[in-house]
Amino acid sequence: MTEDASTESMFVVDCDSHWSEPADLFTKLAPPAYKDRVPHVEVIDGKRMWVFNGHPVGLYSAAGVVGRDGRKEAADLALHHWDFEMIHVGAYDPKVRLQVMDESGIDAQVIFPSTIGLGGQALGQAADPELSLLTMQLYNDAQAQIQADSNERLLPLPLMPAWSVEASVAEARRVAAMGARGVNMTSDPQDLGAPDLANAAWDPFWEVCTELQLPVHFHIGASVTAETFRGKYHWPSQAPNTQLALSGTLLFVGNARVVANAIVSGIFDRHPDLKMVSVESGVGWIPFILEALDYEMAENAPEEFKALKKPPSEYFRSNFYATFWFENNRNKLPELIEAVGEDAILFETDFPHPTCLYPHPLQSVEKKMATLSPQARRKILGENARKLYRI
């Protein structure tokens, strides 16, 4: 590859995209005895809801803004008023998704859920751990088959039964055996009855993820707690579209919370080769948070600060990745790369969610990427992901 290669000629990995889950996703997978208990859609108080084991666990929608014709619609209209038949077929059909990728110049794609919880947290709310585990495994098995059928171009990440450390360890081993390239984890397992992630009780899980080269992913909004934050970020009298914009902006703060907590918990001192990914969070906030964390720990937790093997700010480059898609409107990307590290940044499109880069994702970042060296462009667009996901 020549040094002046364009983005279109590079190996490109989209490290954050989403499925729009069909209403019959689980009922068509479940054994007959479980079809009325696995997640399915019912209308409750005029709203379509996921109902799991008799309990509403989340709003059901097409969860995207890209229509059948490939054009983006206003977020409030698409998210709240579209029927599922109006969303782009590539939002839920793996074969059509591959066509969308080919049209966009994307070689491989990491995929997350949508309305079952960005970290699968809704599947932990059945009030029946055995049923929750069965449902999650049905989902993970289906994703493994999609990955295999796509010749490893589609990489839908398996969900973890975060209500149990032991179950999470076992499921990580099971999905790794099926070819998983990472795991998708809720940021707040304490919401589901397990210890929080700073607790050393999770060490067996970090150990197995390190051993099996499974980077642990934390998507913004990937917990019951985070979704509650989303509902409170905006002032109630804001217009609906403004509420969505405020939630989308401030959900990034939720992943600053995840990154900061993980760094100072000692996880990476005990598991120095463990990798985590902050998904759909952007990178602009990272230098400030790392600088603030160094200062605050030194000032307010000096003993804990000294107990860490290195300053908090140094752990991001060695153990974290973050995804980039919209930033650099003020030509600050080179400075961000210098602060965060070109080896720690991944590219994403967020298809088919609001703010996604479609219909022309690579063209939309061409000018921004042109401010970087050819080496940095190659790493961010695909080579970092190729290494992380063993593509």
Residue 41 counted as domain residue:
no
Q: What whole-number percentage of the chain has pLDDT above 70?
A: 96
Residue type, 67: G
94-98 contacts at long range (C-beta below 8 A, 24 or more positions apart): 94/146, 94/149, 94/150, 94/154, 97/154, 98/150, 98/153, 98/154
* pLDDT, mean over the chain: 93
Q: What whole-number percentage of the chain has pLDDT above 90?
A: 79
User: Edge to edge, what strands does the sheet with 47-52 contain?
Assistant: 40-44, 47-52, 55-59
CATH of residue 243's domain is 3.20.20.140
Distance from C-alpha of 103 to C-alpha of 99, rounded to nearest angstrom: 6
pLDDT category at 77 given cuts 50, 70, 90 is confident
Residue whose structure tokens are 């696995």: 38
Residue 353 counted as domain residue:
yes
Residue 61 counted as domain residue:
no
Residue whose structure tokens are 């980077």: 215
Q: What is the DSSP letter of 108?
A: E
Total structural domains within the chain: 1
Residue 59 counted as domain residue:
no
pLDDT category at 331 given cuts 50, 70, 90 is low
* Residue 46, SS3 per DSSP: coil
Residue type, 129: P
pLDDT above 80 (res 1): no
Q: So what's the pLDDT on residue 7?
A: 63
Residue 80 counted as domain residue:
no
The answer to whether residues 18 and 352 touch, using CB atoms and an 8 Å cutoff, is yes
Distance from C-alpha of 201 to C-alpha of 69, rounded to nearest angstrom: 49
Around Cβ 119, how many Cβ atoms within 10 Å?
A: 31
Residue 55 counted as domain residue:
no
pLDDT category at 262 given cuts 50, 70, 90 is very high
Q: What is the DSSP letter of 118?
A: T
Around Cβ 127, how many Cβ atoms within 10 Å?
A: 11
Q: What is the DSSP letter of 114?
A: S
pLDDT category at 232 given cuts 50, 70, 90 is confident
Residue 81 counted as domain residue:
no
Higher pLDDT, 332 or 285: 285
pLDDT category at 247 given cuts 50, 70, 90 is confident
Tokens of 241: 């579209």
Q: What is the mean pLDDT of residues 106-132?
A: 95
Residue 19 counted as domain residue:
yes
Distance from C-alpha of 14 to C-alpha of 325, rounded to nearest angstrom: 10
Note down the domain range covering 103.
Answer: 7-33+89-388
Q: So what's the pLDDT on residue 2?
A: 35
Q: Which of 123, 109, 88 is nearest to 154 (CA)?
A: 109
Q: Which of 169, 112, 159 is nearest to 134 (CA)?
A: 159
Q: What is the mean pLDDT of residues 185-208?
A: 97
pTM attached to this predicted model: 0.95
